A = this chain, B = another copy of it.
């Protein structure tokens, strides 16, 4: 048995791309984003914007920090993202009268109405898949995220 000319890296090479779990998360995440994009474009949302809408549909009027905690994003990402969504008319950003540092992000009527159109998205994206397998993977990844968040916090 010999290694091919194309790929001379031996199986036990720790730097083999195929062995990197980090790369698989990277590739899967990018591929998922590309698959969602055309579906979400019909709702006038990007993929990141869709995630923000999921957070706000669960509880309206959250602060930037609360949304960021939920999505594991900081203000460097969220502030411009939320401004674009305000321009698009999905939400409004207004300072909290109780505490002027806080910014409350609230859905507009059209932002709330968009939820009805979004209801079909999860089914469209998982059509033809084994739902038990997806659920098992979902649970595994929930643990992974807890581990990664903890590692990040201890850094």
Contact = CB atoms under 8 A, between A and B. Distances in A.
Interface of A: 6-9, 14-36, 38, 47, 51, 54-55, 57-59, 70-73, 115, 118-119, 121-123, 125-126, 129, 134, 137-138, 140-142, 144-145, 147-149, 151-152, 155
Given A7-B59, A15-B57, A138-B21, A31 B123 contact: no
A126 to B, nearest CB: 8
Contacts of A18: 142
Contacts of A142: 18, 24
Nearest to A125: B22
A122 B29 CA distance: 20
Majority DSSP secondary structure for residues of A touching B: helix
Contacts of A70: 17
A35 B145 CA distance: 12
B19 A122 contact: yes
Contacts of A123: 14
A55 B155 contact: no
